A and B are shown apart, each in its own frame.
Chain A
Amino acid sequence: GAGVSQTPSNKVTEKGKYVELRCDPISGHTALYWYRQSLGQGPEFLIYFQGTGAADDSGLPNDRFFAVRPEGSVSTLKIQRTERGDSAVYLCASSPTLAGRNNEQFFGPGTRLTVL
Chain B
Amino acid sequence: AQSVTQLDSHVSVSEGTPVLLRCNYSSSYSPSLFWYVQHPNKGLQLLLKYTSAATLVKGINGFEAEFKKSETSFHLTKPSAHMSDAAEYFCVVSDPEEYGNKLVFGAGTILRVKS
Given contacts A42-B106, A104-B46, contact A99 B101 (CB under 8 A): yes
Asked whether, in the complex, the Cβ of B101 is within 8 Å of the Cβ of A55, the reply is: yes
* B8–chain A nearest beta-carbon distance, Å: 14
| A44 contacts partner chain B, Cβ-Cβ < 8 Å | yes
A82 to chain B, nearest CB (A): 23
Q: What are 29 A-B contacts defined by CB distance under 8 Å? A: A4-B43, A33-B102, A41-B107, A42-B107, A43-B105, A44-B105, A45-B103, A45-B104, A56-B102, A59-B102, A91-B43, A93-B103, A99-B94, A99-B101, A100-B94, A100-B96, A100-B101, A101-B30, A101-B51, A101-B52, A101-B94, A101-B96, A104-B46, A105-B103, A107-B43, A107-B44, A108-B43, A109-B41, A109-B43
Q: Are A98 and B101 in contact (CB under 8 A)?
A: yes
Interface residue A110 (Cβ < 8 Å from any Cβ of B):
yes
Shortest Cβ gap from B94 to chain A (Å):
6
B77 in the interface (beta carbon within 8 A): no
